[in-house]
Amino acid sequence: MTYNNNIYNNEDRYKIEKANRLEALENIVENHTRTERHLEKYSDISSLEKFSDSIVKQADREADIEILECKILDGNQSNSSDLKYLERNYDFAKGYIEHNQDHMNVSALENMKEKQQNRRNELTGLH
């Protein structure tokens, strides 16, 4: 009989991974809901910069929610799904930057441009 240093078998790993994904999904949904309520309540008070940052965070959270849902339901994430969500986020952010760059804080704009570059690099890696 051979001794296996691996404490968890594949089924246990799958259960642990699924539980972690469910917990991550719950956290993201709670953050999304909390931010959504905050935006509804204080959008007239908040600065344009903070409001635009919140909208971008919400879009990222929505994409993360969809990805986690797919991972939980399918058991894994295919490259085609990654590509689809990444392209959607890239297109959304591109339009957002084009529409709001004149009103954004310089550091927030640079941060978004850096994220866009990272998305472009990831897109080329997935194609």
Cα torsion through 67, 73, 74, 75, rounded to 10: 90
* pTM metric for this prediction: 0.53
Q: How far is CA 116 from CA 81, 87, 101, in A?
A: 18, 11, 14
How far is Cα 56 from Cα 13, in angstroms, rounded to an integer? Answer: 33
* Burial category of 70 from C-beta neighbours within 10 Å (exposed 0-12, middle 13-18, buried 19 and up): middle
Per-residue pLDDT tens digits of the chain, which is 127 residues long: 444 555 556 677 778 888 888 898 899 899 999 988 888 887 776 677 777 788 888 888 888 888 788 778 876 545 566 677 788 888 888 888 888 888 878 888 888 888 888 888 777 765 5
